[in-house]
Chains A and B, each alone.
Chain A
Amino acid sequence: MELNALDQEFMHSGHVGCPGCGAAIAMRFFLKALGDKTIMVLPACCWSVIAGPYPQSTLKIPLIHSAFETGGAVASGVRAALDMKGDRETTVVTWAGDGGTFDIGFQALSGAVERNEDFIYVCYDNEAYMNTGIQRSSSTPYGAWTTTTPGTDWKKLRKKNIVEALVAHRIPYAATANIAFPEDLVRKAQKAKSIKGSRFIHVYASCPTGWRIPSEMSIKIARMAVQTNIFPLYEVEDGLRYTINYKPKEYLVREYFRLQGRFRHLTDKDLDQIQEMVNEDWELLLRKAGEHA
């Protein structure tokens, strides 16, 4: 893999992420791509814990722990402070979970990107509030078990399409990325870094603990999310120009669901229905990219 060039590490071992944590892998790749001239804003999420208890830090770059709902606002402030100091070189990155992005942090994020604040907002998506014990979020996919959607009350609502919500703000750059596709991820991080204004990257980050999957499967499952079109890899420039980065062959969503404990209760009929939803989303994306199915 070409990533050998990115030999430098900006993370330390000894963090307390769960074995096989996708969010830890996502961070490692991003920092390799962005380099040490980066300040990170970290609203409450699993990463608040992974980053280490005071006085430890697992990152070799400065990071600011912030309140859960403030990722967009704090980053705007950090950017303004750097500007006042005349530092145009440092990249400001908000690193937030799906809860902190899709739900509680959404207004701060929407406000910041509406002002086209100059920062990168990364949402690492593990599809629930994992840090506090697997509560559902608006990112939790249709069909999933969580502690707040237990038993037969599994989530029967669709996952919010966050990238489209950001695209609607007409920001300069919005993209999806996935830990199983490091080359694509690193390219997008570097591309985002080279663009001015608000940039948003939605990273799929598997969670062995919350998804009830074996730790060694977290990359495999992340890869399948792309292969099945459940999590397509694409990027949108200026809210208009869509590029689909990966066109999978026909894989069935069924195989992705079968591997995860959080979907164990789904029947064949449910899975057929989910397949239709995925197909529908994919066709919509194709249409937006001007590539009719």
Chain B
Amino acid sequence: MAGSKVQKIDIPLFMPRSYMSTEVNKTGSWRFLRPRYDEKTAPCSAACPAGEDIARIEMLTTQGLFKEAWETILKENPFPAVCGRVCFHPCEGVCNRGEFDTAVAIHVMERFLAETALRYDLKPLLEQSPGKKEKVAIVGAGPSGLSAACFLNRLGYACDVFEAASEPGGILRWGIPEYRLPLPALRSEIARIESAGVRIITNKRLPADFAVGAKGNYDAVFIGCGHGRTTMLRIPGEDSSGVEDGLEFLNRIRRGAKPPVDGLSAVIGGGNTAVDVARSILRLGGKAVILYRRRRQDMPAFQEEVEMALEEGVELKELLAPARIVKDRKGLLITMRPMKVAGEDESGRGRVEPAGGKTQEFRVRRVFKATGAEAVEEWLNPPGRQRNVLLLENCVLVNRAKGPAVVFGGDLTNETKSVAHAVASGKAAAIALDTFFREGFKAVRSRLKSCAVGNGKALSMEIYMGGERRLRNPHVVRFGEINTDYFHFAPRITQPRLMKEERLNTFKEIDLKISANLAIREAERCFNCGVCNRCDNCYLFCPDLSVIREQDLVGRHVNYDYCKGCGLCVVECPRNAMTLEEEKR
């Protein structure tokens, strides 16, 4: 438009500029799946007869919180120094890490923590219930009796423990040799139990009518007298001189004697007693051959012990059952009948029967019977099924019409005879008696069930006492539920040991200590199945900034105002400590 006047208008520069955040959009309304924190049960803890919270113990260990880790064991098991050494660790058999590379060395960590507590003279701080009026007498200061006392004490009951021997500990003190369980380790644990207020009266063998007479003094009696007598072989010549009782032999050694064992000795049996007797014979300068009626893989003794025994020079002859023993001028001649495998029992152990054919003879200086043990006196055996009797896992509760209730536990009742099962007995008895006193006989069974670890057989005192662990989902975490992308192959720790040559002339402990460094590294191998270790993956990967860490950084929660339910937190949680479920609005 040539020549026309253009009017100049001043248009202000305008850039639209946002001035509020997106937080007005409550994107939580999109959600049809809902993540939540949901700690679960680790398989190891469900398999541990004492129900130890292993996933948490290992987590605390990796953080260097050794005292807290040790206390976490003590909540469920007063004997970590013992069990870290002699427990056959069924926990490791089911460890999820076993499907990845090799199981976590749980027992090595347990022993390390106990050792650390001992070295620094740590005093545990454990939950303690207020005092109760009832009093409990405990017969036998083996691991079952001492555990019962320890747990009852924690629940507020005064306990007196009566022990026939001159020192408490049962088989731990008078049976298991020192090269596996040194005295200071045991004594420190018993001292801790005593210092919590348990009274132990030694050199006091209680008579059969004790429970009846206890009325007035005690409201309940726990009987944990163990299986102290070796069973008979029932063969001719069994009474000959030179035929000895294996338990009695071990007991003499633990009393400080050095029984003569020159020449070759035959040890009959396949359990821990047989192996311990044979290995003790070597250490005293003798030779030993174990004669066992089944095969090596059927031996109830721990495979690792058998292996070490063979390495040290013990001989093993399988599929031989004793037929007779003859004493002559030259010593003993033991005749063995060959056996053969005829199927398996429910547990997969070989069943054997005589194979016929030629017998074998062994010329030996001594024969040690180590075939199994039984109660010393008949009254120690628990009654069978009756109306006033509860046959529980690892103990038997008898509600007597007159006089105090009686609980039988430990080897007297347990199908599997082990220290950890003895601890389980003590715990079951304590919970059963507390429930019996407070809620009555009928409430006992369901109460015990409610504190089962992962709905299994193991019980948790922490759950019973209302601790945090009661919030765990009983679901047992499977290997497939672990996000293995977050774990790298790492070899299991090798337990340092005395060399074979160093072992043979002493009863010094074979397993050596490990450093804190190695312990932490081993603990880091643990997946912490089902237990949040605060790795923060959930927080990190949330695209919607909806995982909120509490001020203390320990707790976390999901902000459902914005969580869209993508599920990333749940999948990226390495250890299945979260759950994704349908949103129910």
Contact = CB atoms under 8 A, between A and B. Distances in A.
A28 B543 CA distance: 8
B580 A13 contact: no
B206 interface: no
B580 A56 contact: no
A20 B567 contact: yes
A21 B543 contact: yes
A24 B567 contact: no
A9 interface: yes
Which among B541, B559, B580 has the greatest number of chain A C-beta atoms within 10 A? Answer: B541
Contact of B23 (A14, A19, A22): A14
B18 A57 contact: yes
A15 B19 contact: no
B543 A25 contact: yes
B580 A216 contact: yes
Nearest to A62: B17
Given A14-B24, A16-B27, A219-B572, A56 B566 contact: no
Contacts of A9: 545
A14 B553 CA distance: 23
B16 interface: yes
Contact of A4 (B23, B536, B562): B536
B21 interface: yes
A236 B545 CA distance: 32
Nearest to B18: A57
A48 B20 CA distance: 16
Given A12-B23, A13-B23, A14-B27, A1 B540 contact: yes
B536 A24 contact: no
Contact of B559 (A13, A22, A58, A214): A13
A251 to B, nearest CB: 11
B16 A58 contact: no
Contacts of B544: 13, 15, 17, 24
A196 interface: no
Interface in A43-100: 52, 54-58, 60
A1 B483 CA distance: 16
Nearest to A63: B18
A3 interface: yes
A1 B536 CA distance: 7
Given A13-B561, A216-B571, A182 B540 contact: yes
Contacts of B559: 13
Contacts of A25: 541, 543
Interface string B1-39: 000000000000000111111111111001100000000
A21 B562 CA distance: 14
Contact of A218 (B31, B561, B568, B580): B568
A11 interface: yes
A4 B16 CA distance: 36
Contacts of B20: 55-57
Contacts of B580: 216
B327 interface: no
Interface in B554-585: 559, 561-562, 564-568, 570-572, 580
Which among A3, A19, A217 has the greatest number of chain B C-beta atoms within 10 A? Answer: A19
The contact size tier of chain B is 35 or more
Nearest to A26: B543
B200 to A, nearest CB: 48
Contact of B565 (A16, A19, A24, A220): A19
Contacts of B25: 14-16, 56
Given A13-B546, A13-B561, A56-B21, A220 B485 contact: yes
A16 B24 CA distance: 11
Contacts, number: 109
Nearest to B567: A216
A187 to B, nearest CB: 15
Given A12-B23, A219-B571, A220-B485, A19 B18 contact: no
A182 B538 CA distance: 13
A73 B462 CA distance: 65
B568 A54 contact: no
A159 interface: no
Nearest to B545: A13
A24 B543 contact: yes
A55 B19 CA distance: 6
Nearest to B571: A216
A13 B31 CA distance: 14
Nearest to A214: B567
A216 B536 contact: no
Contacts of A219: 541, 568, 571-572
Given A52-B22, A57-B21, A223 B571 contact: no
B317 to A, nearest CB: 47
B27 A56 contact: no
Interface in B532-555: 535-537, 540-541, 543-546, 553
Interface in B455-485: 485
Nearest to A227: B485
A19 B33 CA distance: 11
Interface string B240-252: 0000000000000
B378 to A, nearest CB: 63
A135 interface: no
A223 B483 CA distance: 12
B22 A56 contact: yes
A215 B566 contact: yes
Nearest to B489: A249
A153 B26 CA distance: 40
Contacts of A12: 21-23, 545
Given A20-B543, A24-B543, A55-B18, A216 B23 contact: no
Contacts of B543: 17, 19-22, 24-25, 28
Listed from nearest, the 10 A-B pairs whose CB atoms lie closest are A216-B567, A20-B566, A19-B566, A14-B22, A13-B562, A57-B18, A215-B566, A24-B543, A14-B25, A19-B564
29 contacts: A1-B540, A4-B536, A4-B553, A12-B23, A13-B22, A13-B561, A13-B562, A14-B21, A14-B25, A15-B22, A16-B25, A17-B544, A19-B31, A19-B564, A20-B566, A21-B543, A22-B543, A28-B543, A28-B545, A52-B18, A54-B18, A55-B16, A56-B21, A57-B22, A216-B566, A216-B568, A218-B568, A219-B541, A219-B571
Given A13-B27, A14-B21, A215-B568, 17 more contacts: A1-B535, A1-B537, A3-B540, A9-B545, A13-B544, A13-B546, A14-B26, A15-B25, A15-B27, A16-B22, A21-B543, A24-B544, A56-B22, A208-B566, A215-B564, A216-B580, A220-B485
